[in-house]
Amino acid sequence: MDELRKLVEEYEAPLLGFLQELVRLKSVNGRHAEQAVAERIVAEAEKLGLNGRLIAKEPLRPNALASWGHGPRGFALVGHMDTVAAGDASLWSSPPFEPEIRNGRLYGRGTADNKAGLAIGLYTLAALRDLGQLDPNEVTLILAGVVDEESGASSELGMRYLLDEGHLPVQGAIYTYASDIVCVGHRGLLRLVLEAKGTAVHSGSDEWSQGESGVNAVTGLAAILLQLEQLKLPYEPHPAFNHLGFTMTPGTLFNGGEFESMVPAVATAVLDCRLMPGQAPEMVIEAVQSIIAAECANRPGLRVAIQVKNRLPAAAIPAEHPLAQIAQRHAQTITGQPWPIRGAGPANEGYMLIGAGIPTLPGFGPSGGNAHAPDEWVDVASLMETAVLYATIMSDYLS
């Protein structure tokens, strides 16, 4: 352990500098292609003496793969290269794409989610190579930087493409999100778009005043959303998700109305549902349809259609799985802190890896916070600590 820690500490300055470079490279999903980040990862891999290559389904959005070894036993550290937008820059204490260290924290968009994990992962591979305890003829160590995760964790361009094309021949994986738990799974996601249609009429007309004409799509849809807010659906308890349950959040996006003096004829809303393991999306959709049908019956002329926007299953490995147990044991030893084993509330691409038969921790990494919010940060000291942790877990698991 001491030798490994010494090797990792030699990489402290270049790792931090590399992470700062990645943060400066804007890769906001829907605005910037991830190409510059992918190319920078491959260049750094080659500089470290690792194998680096770009693998793309869409030319301007390549995935980055770094690897060492070519043996039958494999392990992958995975992270996504895209970020969400910075939002209102005035709410940040420093420019979001100009990484700044304050009080031991590195601030910037993408630090915790997920560029710190990528930087740590790359240098972990180099440290394990330097340590010389793993035989490159027996193991394959991979860092995968994937594209398009922030679009909804269901893209065909990133993780799904790498799996389908056979680029992740591994028996274990860690998705390198910042965390303070040993994450063994995540809830599922069902996102529905509800479109309500009514009948437009002048809001000052006699017909509207007397109830002879016009159907308000906005209030009709709002009535449905308020009922959905109270909806409770059954699910089977899961030991990794005792702190969580089924969650329905109506109206995460809402749009309606065209003009101030016009009864709205169209309104749309997004319904965000977080599913527990084993909870069928069809059951949720059926319950939503039932509420819609009842409200439309009470409001003649109101029509509401449902479109499925995102649909991801919940996924988890057993808490007793060797990967989870090894990770918890080493995390508690190395950090001196408790690391509970449990599932996470938000969905991510872990279900793709687990569904492909790869035991995966879908969130396990450095200390960080404010993902998708102003002043996103990662703890600088935890960068090296996590590199030691990743290396120790991978060595133990592959042995």
Residue of 47, 6, 21, 18 lying closest to 391 (CA atoms)? 6
Residue of 58, 83, 76 lying closest to 149 (CA atoms)? 83
The whole model's pTM is what? 0.92
CB 61 within 8 A of CB 161: no
Residue 165 is predicted with a pLDDT of: 98
**Are 273 and 338 part of one and the same domain?**
no
**Are 22 and 42 part of one and the same domain?**
yes
DSSP 175: E
**Are 182 and 198 part of one and the same domain?**
no
Give the integer Cα–Cα distance in Å for 244 and 111. 26
**Are 38 and 170 part of one and the same domain?**
yes
**Are 155 and 273 part of one and the same domain?**
no
Prior bond to 29 cis, omega within 30? no
Which helix (H) or strand (E) is 303 found in, with range? strand 303-312
**Are 282 and 206 part of one and the same domain?**
yes
Residue 1 is predicted with a pLDDT of: 75
CATH of the domain at 219: 3.30.70.360
**Are 264 and 374 part of one and the same domain?**
no
Residue 360 is predicted with a pLDDT of: 99
**Are 19 and 164 part of one and the same domain?**
yes
Strand partners, 192: 271, 308
pLDDT digits (tens, 9 = 90+) for 169-191: 999 999 999 999 999 999 999 99
**Are 93 and 175 part of one and the same domain?**
yes
Residue 317 token pair: 């490995």
Residue of 377, 370, 385, 369 lying closest to 179 (CA atoms)? 369
Q: Which residues of the chain have pLDDT under 50?
A: none
Give the integer Cα–Cα distance in Å for 253 and 307. 14
Choosing from 312, 331, 348, the residue where a domain stops is 312
Domain total for the chain?
2
**Are 27 and 159 part of one and the same domain?**
yes
CATH of the domain at 98: 3.40.630.10
Residue 2 is predicted with a pLDDT of: 86
Residue of 245, 248, 208, 200 lying closest to 224 (CA atoms)? 248
CA-derived radius of gyration, the chain: 24
Give the range of the structural domain holding residue 35, as residue numbers without chain letter: 2-186+314-398
Choosing from 312, 337, 371, the residue where a domain stops is 312
